[in-house]
Structure formats: structure tokens, C-alpha cells
Amino acid sequence: MPCEHYKDALMELAASGAAPQGQLAVHIAECASCREAFNIEQSLFADIDSRLQVAANAEVPASLLPRVRVALSQVPAPRFNWVRPVVLVSASLVLAFAILLIGRPRRTSPESVARQGSFGPATTTPTTTTNPEKSPLEGVQVAAHAAHSHAARNSTNLHVAASSNPEVLVPPDEREAFARLVAVLNERSDVAAALVAKAPQKDAVVTADPLRIPGIEIKPLEGTETESSDGAGDKR
């Protein structure tokens, strides 16, 4: 029986088929039981290998190839499979067509263009009215910018709409308001002139000078000392 310390190393060495080296070689030379165990292990592997070789290198029967040739002659020759390439080509064509459809710029109907156009001013209105603390100039600037960006976004739509002369759809309340405006303009020519007058360019950014406030002189109120001392002013 081999020494416990060298048992695994001996097995590994025999399995690898290499010659012992170094400390293991010295030990095998000194220890008779390990030498014997190593020899037995080597003979075990040799037995396994020889049996495997006998099984793996069995003589091929002479009848094998003629048998296969006869069987091959009875089988129709492998034909080129047309189905797979045809399916691949058609699938790639469909995919290319789908990509073309998706990538093409979309055309919108004139009705939708008109609807979008009618919503334009409505977006600017709340900006100027809901924020009373901001200056009116700031509101004008925002509105101009919004109108500009809206126009840029829908530039293709506007182009399409202009080229096809679409019917402009106006909601009934807006139509009524427009009729009232026309009536007012008929009565007051000055308002009409103001409307027709050339408007300042919308895209130009309106700048305003910073507000200059002269120094404020704060004077003490008369009689504050007497009121504050007895606390009567607060009560009043």
C-alpha cells in the first residue's frame, strides 16, 4: 500500500502516463510499497489502454463500403433545396419594404393641418394672462418664440397645406367672435387702422432697459413713537 501522502500524486502520475520526477521520483526509488503501487497503477492503465485500442481499431469488414455504395445507389441524390433561399430572399424583401415605409416622411391631411393651425394662438394666450407678475414684454417674447418653434415644427405641414389650398375649419365660437370684431371694425375706423398698421417683427427679441428707480428717501412717520409705545396702533 502506498504512503497516504503520495497516493494521489502516484495516481495522477500514472493517469498522465509521464515518468516520475523530482521528489516523487526520489520517494518511489526509496519506498518499496509506493513503487509497487505505482507499477500496479501503471499496469492498470496499460490494460485499459490496450483494451480500448483493441475495441477502437477493430478490423473494418470488407463488406461495409460495397454495402453502403449499393444503399447509396438506391437513394435519390441529394437535391439542392430551393425553398430556403427563396424564403430568405422574400423575407429580406419584405423587411426592406417595411423599413422603406417606416422611414418615409408622413403626409398629414389638410384637415389636421388646419386644426393644428387653429390651436397655435391658444398656446400663447395663457402665457401672457396667467402670469400677471411678469412683464408684458416677457410674455410677448415667449409667445414669439413659441410661434416660431411651432412654425418650424410644422414647416412641412404648412407647406403641404399651402400647396393644396385646404379648407380652413373654424370653430363656431371663434367664428362668432370674428364676426363681432368685423362689426366693431366697421364702427371704429381707428381700431381698424391700428390693426392694419405694420406690427413689430415677431422674431426679433425685444429688449428693455433695466428699470431705474431713483433713490427713495424714507421719512419717519409722525407720531409713530407714541402709537408703538402703548401698542394702540396695532390694535387699531
Partner 1 sequence: MQELVLNQPVSAARSELVREAQADARREFEERLAECGPLAFRVARGVLRNTADAEDVAQEALLRAYKSFDRLRDRNRFRAWLVRISFRLALDRLRSAKRREQRDTLWAKPAHQPAPITAEDVAASNQFQAHLDRALEELPEKLRLVLLLSAMDGYTIEEIASMMGVPLGTVKSRIFIARKKLAEKLRCHANTIKMR
**Cα(131)–Cα(137) distance, rounded to whole angstroms?**
12
Rounded Cα gap, residues 43 and 51, in angstroms: 12
Binder among 3, 162, 191, 193 for partner 1 (CB under 8 A)? 3
Using alpha carbons, list the distances in angstroms from residue 8 to 5, 14, 19, 98: 8, 10, 15, 66
Neighbours of 24 (CB within 10 A): 17
Interface with partner 1 in residues 40-79 (CB under 8 A): 40-41, 43-45, 47-49, 51-53, 55-58, 60-61, 63-65, 67-69, 71-72, 75, 77-79
Q: Which is nearer to partner 1, 85 or 171 (CB)?
A: 85
Instruction: For cell 402709537, name the residue.
Output: 227
Least distance between partner 1 and beta carbon 92 (Å): 19
Pick the closer one to partner 1 by CB: 68 or 91.
68
Cα–chain-centroid distance for residue 11?
Answer: 59
Residue 86 contacts partner 1 per CB under 8 A: no
- Residues whose CB is less than 8 angstroms from the CB of residue 158 and which lie 6 or more positions away in sequence, other chains included: 113, 117, 151
| 8 Å CB contact between 38 and 25 | no
218 lines the binding site for partner 1 (CB under 8 A): no
Should residue 13 be labelled a site residue for partner 1 when binding is judged by CB under 8 A?
no
CB nearer partner 1, residue 74 or residue 165:
74
Using the minimum distance from each CB to partner 1, give the nearer residue, 78 or 223. 78
Burial degree of 1 (CB within 10 A; 0-12, 13-18, 19+): exposed
Considering the complex, state which of residue 11 and residue 158 has its C-beta at the smaller distance from partner 1: 11
| C-beta of 45 vs 160, nearer to partner 1 | 45
Cell of 110: 389638410
Is 18 a residue that touches partner 1 (CB under 8 A)?
no
Q: Is 19 in the site for partner 1 (CB under 8 A)?
A: no
Contact residues toward partner 1 (CB under 8 A) are 1-4, 7, 10-12, 14-16, 37, 40-41, 43-45, 47-49, 51-53, 55-58, 60-61, 63-65, 67-69, 71-72, 75, 77-81
